[in-house]
Amino acid sequence: MRVLVAEDDPMLAEMITLGLRRHGFAVDTVLDGSAAAFNLQVNDYDVIVLDRDLPGVHGDVIAVGLAGSGARIRILMLTASGGLRDRVEGLGLGADDYLTKPFEYPELIARVQALCRRSAAPVPPVLERAGVVLDTARRTAVRDGRALDLTPKEFEVLRILLATAGAPVGPEELLERAWDEHADPFTSAVRVVMSRLRAKLGDPPLIRTVQGIGYVL
């Protein structure tokens, strides 16, 4: 799942970004509304964590634009204004959820996870195929009853492969959905993660390379 964090406080933006990455999200971070608007034009996101009082393009303008565009991206609006009127106004602008600063990080993570589930095409919370069982809520994975110790990136790649129900997934799509904007499209990152994932899944091999197309489980 890919998230855009648009927050003008550099320290808070970094803390949110690191927290989301620890939970397996691919995260891009911007510090003003103009950069947020640009990123939204060139990348696909599941959720935007949007500071309402952004400099440049105001957060309200971004929220209204996204709501009017019909984009599937979900909006978690952050603001220092915690009054009922402010919350109602923020939701009326198109935000899907509203969080008042200061907030507890476990709550922010839980809200982003919930919005990601609403953003994505409906998939079962537990994915199963070829003896592999992936519980996306508990973040656990097993193969034939054996627990798999996966990194967040390995978990996300396996989730994408399972969710396609046997259809091949190209390396470009994996980069787009599981990495952030700093990923080099010519990097070997996908190949390296795929190699580690194959090793952890063990024998007989489950992930097949389709020449010129991508990978299939």
The 3-state secondary structure of 121-165 reads CCCCCEEEECCEEEECCCCEEEECCEECCCCHHHHHHHHHHHHCC
Here the contacts of 43-46 (C-beta below 8 Å, separation 24 or greater) are: 43/2, 43/4, 43/176, 43/181, 44/2, 44/73, 44/176, 45/2, 45/3, 45/4, 45/73, 46/1, 46/2, 46/3, 46/72, 46/73, 46/74, 46/115, 46/116, 46/119, 46/120
Q: In the predicted model, is pLDDT for residue 127 greater than 60?
A: yes
Grouping H, G, I as helix, E, B as strand and the rest as coil, residue 200 is: helix
Q: In the predicted model, is pLDDT for residue 177 greater than 80?
A: no
Rounded mean pLDDT of the chain? 85
Delimit the domains of the chain by residue range. 2-119, 126-216
pLDDT class of 181 with cuts at 50, 70, 90: low
Question: Which CATH superfamily groups domain 2-119?
Answer: Response regulator (3.40.50.2300)
- Domain 126-216 class? mainly alpha
- 8 Å CB contact between 171 and 214: yes
Single out the residue of 195, 201, 188, 189 nearest to residue 162, CA to CA: 201
Can you tell me the mean pLDDT for 10-26? 90
Q: In the predicted model, is pLDDT for residue 147 greater than 90?
A: yes
Is the bond preceding residue 204 a cis peptide, omega within 30 degrees? Answer: yes
Grouping H, G, I as helix, E, B as strand and the rest as coil, residue 50 is: strand
